[in-house]
Structure 1
Amino acid sequence: MTREGAVAILIAAAVVILGALAIGWWLRTRRDRGLRAPFGEPPVGAVAQHWFPALYVATTRHDEPLERLAIKGLAFRAKAELIVADSGLVIDLAGQPRIHLPAERIASVGQSTVAIDRVVEKHGLVRVTWRLEDTMLADSYFRPQDASARALADAIATLITTGTDA
């Protein structure tokens, strides 16, 4: 085989792989096109209790940390600011509209070690389980920057009322 033939085969293989990735993402966005993040501002008069800079990792199906949901505004990693307010969790992702998760939509909060392709030290991620739709739960994962994952999880846990755990 000539050098040009080998290069042509490698280029063709790369095109096939990239095409498969693009088709896979397109199918995922079609599957999840009806899912909506709760965009919006917190209610007037809501009081911020804690503020945490973080990295947003992913949103997945509940208890399926490797099954990413392609929800508009939550499909890609981003720098984030998390504000725990008396009304709920406010999520500011770089380049996206603000998301307000009312306290009644937050089912549980905990710590995790893995989500999608992010593996960190034991309990280094914060997992927020929230009601995406009436019957569907989603897990969103965050990596706090200036605080421990335990501190962020504890702050969010104050929003969960008794009897609403998933």
Structure 2
Amino acid sequence: MTREGALLVMVGVAVVLLAVLAYAWWRRTRRDARYSAPVGELPADAVETAVFSGLYVATTRHDEPLERLAISGLGFRSRVDVTVTSAGVALDLPGQPRIALTRDRLVDAAQATVAIDRVVERDGLARISWRIDDDTIVDTYLRPQEASAKALADAIRPLTSTGSDA
């Protein structure tokens, strides 16, 4: 086989691989289209208790850290500012509307080590479990940059249904 022939085969394989990946992502977005992130603002009278900056890693099915959900606004890794208030948690991702997780949606906050494509030091991620609808709980993974994952989880936990004042 000539060099040109080998190059054409390699390009063909790459194109087919990219097409398969695009098709898989398209199927995933169709599968998860029934979910939508709770876009909006927290109540105006909410008292801000903490702010954390960091990285948004993923949102997955509850207790399935390797099963990413393709939810609009939460489909890709990015920077995030997390605002914890007396009324809930706000996630501000660049280029996306604010996501408001009110107290009634929050289920738990804990530390984690692995999520879909990220493995970090033990308990290096914060995991927020929340209700995306009445029947479905999802986990959102965050990696704080200037604070520990424990500090972020500890700030959110009192707001959850398993927290100390729930």
Instruction: Indicate the SS of the match to 1:73.
Output: coil
For 1:3, give the aligned amino acid.
R
Find the residue that maps to 1:140 and give its secondary structure: strand
Q: For 1:67, what is the secondary structure of its paired residue? A: strand
Where does 1:80-95 land on structure 2 (aligned, <5 Å)? Answer: 80-95=80-95
Work out whether 1:47 is the aligned partner of 2:47: yes
TM-superposed CA distance for 1:162, in Å, is: 4.8
**Cα distance, 1:161 vs structure 2:** 3.9
Is the contact made by 2:106 and 2:161 (CA closer than 8 Å) also made in structure 1?
no
CA distance in 1, matches of 2:160, 2:29: 30
Percent identity of paired positions between Structure 1 and Structure 2: 56
- TM-score with structure 2 length normalisation? 0.96
Number of equivalent positions: 164
Call closer, same or farther: CA 1:118–1:163 in 2, change over 3 Å: closer
Whether 1:32 aligns to 2:32 is: yes
Instruction: After TM superposition, give the deviation of residue 160 of structure 1 in Å.
Output: 1.7
Separation of aligned partners in 2, 1:162 and 1:78: 28
Question: TM-score of the superposition, structure 1-length normalised?
Answer: 0.96
Give the aligned partner of residue 65 of structure 1: 65
2:107, 2:162 within 8 Å by CA — same for their partners in 1? no
Question: CA-atom RMSD, angstroms?
Answer: 1.3
**For 1:17-166, what aligned pairs fall within 5 Å after superposition?**
17-162=17-162
Specify the code of the residue in structure 1 equivalent to 2:135: T
